[in-house]
Structure 1
Amino acid sequence: MKNITRLCSSKPTVTVNGRYPGPTIYAREDDTLLIKVVNHVKYNVSIHWHGVRQVRTGWADGPAYITQCPIQPGQVYTYNYTLTGQRGTLWWHAHILWLRATVYGAIVILPKRGVPYPFPKPDHEKVIVLGIVLSHV
């Protein structure tokens, strides 16, 4: 929990590593990700990897009570999946209750090393994550 100020109002907010939005995850196509989630708040939580193909790893998809039990307060869960046949910028987010509004971030899947992009290389890149303003939490 951290007090976050938006539109001149501060609210206690569930964050990831003290950040709102959470950190951007960078990986490469065919990487296997091991992402350890430690729940330090009083709410159940699960993380959904939005748009990531879950090939034989449905338990790592994140919808609470559907593909996994939620991570209870004080508990730990390690997501383990491989980024198969994908590249681009997607996002991850909590998949339970109102936490979807505060627990989210980008996941950037780069091509395999030595594999070019299907377009001219840009001068630079910038990840932009759009979110919502908290009114009552």
Structure 2
Amino acid sequence: MPVVSVSMPESLLNELDDFIEDHGYSGRSEAVREGARGLIDEFDMAEFDGEVACMIAARFEHDSTAEASLSELRHAHAELVTSSVHSHAGGACLELFVVEGSIDTISAYVARIRAVNGVNTVEYSVLESTERAIA
């Protein structure tokens, strides 16, 4: 198996080490491999076709430039974004988006949100299209 070097902030490394100890992993490599598999599975959206709805949550620090960038991104994709809400949780800002479109278009939008400088976390949930859910 190839050996890979990964850099991360010390605080994240400490959290990872605590997680490993609390959940019985044999070491960092095992935990990182499982995390990588989960990330890959998360993006394996081949099961969705046609139009879908998606809820996206982006977390960022209040004093970052992320809010303005997310606003620009939202306006640039007005055909995709049906609703958005700005909120606060745990001392950070949350931007919540409801989007509707093809899975490829939504995946590209999620990737653009992740690329915004200052955005710390992006999570989303994909729902079947209304037409398929009713059928």
Q: Do they superpose with TM above 0.5?
A: no
For normalisation by structure 2, the TM-score amounts to 0.33
For normalisation by structure 1, the TM-score amounts to 0.33
Q: Which has the higher helix share?
A: 2
Q: Which has the higher strand share?
A: 1
**Radius of gyration: which is bigger?**
2
